[in-house]
Amino acid sequence: MKNLFIKGAISPEFIAISIAKHQSKKTIGAHNIFLGQVRADMVGENTVKAIEFSCYQEMAEKEMVALRETAFKKFNLTCMHIHHSIGEVKVGEICIFVFVSAPHRKNVYKATEYIVEQVKTNVPLFGKELFYSNTHQWKQNK
Amino acid sequence: MKNLFIKGAISPEFIAISIAKHQSKKTIGAHNIFLGQVRADMVGENTVKAIEFSCYQEMAEKEMVALRETAFKKFNLTCMHIHHSIGEVKVGEICIFVFVSAPHRKNVYKATEYIVEQVKTNVPLFGKELFYSNTHQWKQNK
Amino acid sequence: MIRITVKYYGEVAEKAQKEEEIINIEESNTQAILDYLKQTYGLAQEVKVAVNLELVTSATTIESTDEIAILSQFAGG
Amino acid sequence: MIRITVKYYGEVAEKAQKEEEIINIEESNTQAILDYLKQTYGLAQEVKVAVNLELVTSATTIESTDEIAILSQFAGG
């Protein structure tokens, strides 16, 4: 899988290029995209200014490959791309980009949702929430 | 609603700009985007080369405003944008762009799906499927 | 009899070969318009009728100042 | 007793103040590693253990050549 992990934030331009690459695929009728953006969450008196992501790379790649195979079969997709940031992503920036494409729209929403949930549950990614006060806490997925 | 109707295809760059505009909104955690792309469908011996969209504009705008209000209430969204092409959109190009944003991911998939279905059902848009043979047929939504 | 402006959209406009016309109908209701469309252009019941930007699904009384539009099947997205 | 390399990720690496170490444990299973982590770094049971890139949820026999990683809660997305 190419560019599974992106250093820093995922830019809108990167997303545009990814979309543009699909315009030669003439059987695709529907795309669904999920983007996760870093929120300025308040934690007690602190406010998140960025999240610093790290991962256990070998295992993360293995899980992503498995997820990819499962999702392709489950949802009959034409294309599927997953990108996740590694390193610091500031508030307002994008840290996860899931992009699925299929001939018809029916399954694309569920496919994206499934992939996002699986990434959150099964892929060994870790997030340190950095506060403006220069303290931090470890992100817990809900 | 700004730029509800776009002349011709919706470009990846337009989508990127729309995404970038949301990076100042620090309470958003999740975006979901639906893109409809024109397929090279075969109809008997003919193949679609483009769809020419037209609309009953006053009614379409009224329906879109109503849809927008309903969707905001129903899904607790922070932002919502809908754009649809008018005029010719070639195979491989994008003709509908639905973009919803919320603090958390839970509802965004359903929101996008709901909006797309409502646009297809309630908004007076018409599509002429143009074939390579220079004949055409009127698109029927399934 | 009333005199009314009717707008055509999508396939309806193609079949009527016009986007708008002024017609005279005997009865002041939408069924009379559908009858006219069937007789004149061979348009059957699959068309939708909007009165003042709202779809109507059964015969509805109309006035000459109403905005009447005849629409073919919606095909957005 | 076996001698084993253990990798630390996320909050675990922070608490251990290292990303990897070689430890000696009496029993050749993952429970012995968890006991070591608790004793040495005060790490409780919320950590995950991966053996050769697979999570294990109960005490699992290990060999010195296995790749052992201790992970804090996953927080992707």
* Out of B24, B108, B110, closest to residue A92 by CB: B24
Chains that touch C (3 or more CB pairs under 8 A): B
pLDDT at B142: 73
Provide the β-strand partners of residue A82. A98
Residue C39 burial (C-beta neighbours within 10 Å; 0-12, 13-18, 19+): exposed
Q: Is the pLDDT of residue B28 over 90?
A: yes
Indicate the fold that domain D2-72 takes in CATH. Ubiquitin-like (UB roll) (3.10.20)
Residue type, A98: V
Are residues A39 and B103, on separate chains, in Cβ contact within 8 Å?
yes
Provide the β-strand partners of residue B36. A30, B96
Query: Is B23's Cβ below 8 Å from some Cβ in C?
Result: no
Q: Please give the distance of CA B31 from its chain centroid, rounded to a whole number.
A: 15
Residue ranges covered by each domain of chain C: 2-72
pLDDT digits (tens, 9 = 90+) for C23-37: 999 999 999 999 999
Residues above pLDDT 90, as percent of chain B: 96
* Out of D9, D67, D74, closest to residue A120 by CB: D74
Side by side, the strands of the sheet bearing D68-71 are D20-25, D2-8, D68-71, D48-51, D54-56
Q: Is the pLDDT of residue C45 over 70?
A: no
CA separation for the pair C25, C30 (Å, rounded): 10
Q: Is the pLDDT of residue B46 over 70?
A: yes
Name the residue in chain B with its Cα closest to that of C50. B59
CA separation for the pair A83, A8 (Å, rounded): 11
Name the residue in chain B with its Cα closest to that of C72. B126
Spelled out in words, what is the top-level CATH class assigned to the domain A5-18+27-138?
A: alpha beta
Query: Is A142's Cβ below 8 Å from some Cβ in D?
Result: no
CA separation for the pair C8, D11 (Å, rounded): 66
Residue ranges covered by each domain of chain A: 5-18+27-138
Residues of A (64-103) whose Cβ lies below 8 Å from D: 84, 95-96
Query: Is B126's Cβ below 8 Å from some Cβ in C?
Result: yes
Q: What is the mean pLDDT of residues A75-90?
A: 97
Of A1-5, A8-12, A41-45, A83-87, minimum mean pLDDT range: A1-5
**Nearest alpha carbon to residue C28 among C54, C55, C3:** C3
pLDDT digits (tens, 9 = 90+) for D32-43: 999 999 999 999
CA separation for the pair B27, B78 (Å, rounded): 8
Are residues B108 and A29, on separate chains, in Cβ contact within 8 Å?
no
pLDDT at B1: 65
CB contacts < 8 Å between A and D, how many?
67
pLDDT digits (tens, 9 = 90+) for D2-25: 999 999 999 999 999 999 999 999
Residue type, B52: E
Query: Is A120's Cβ below 8 Å from some Cβ in D?
Result: yes
pLDDT digits (tens, 9 = 90+) for A90-138: 999 999 999 999 999 999 999 999 999 999 999 999 999 999 999 999 9
Name the residue in chain B with its Cα closest to that of A142. B104
Q: Is the pLDDT of residue B118 over 70?
A: yes
Q: Is the pLDDT of residue C1 over 90?
A: no
pLDDT at A43: 92
pLDDT digits (tens, 9 = 90+) for A29-66: 999 999 999 999 999 999 999 999 999 999 999 999 99
pLDDT at A1: 64
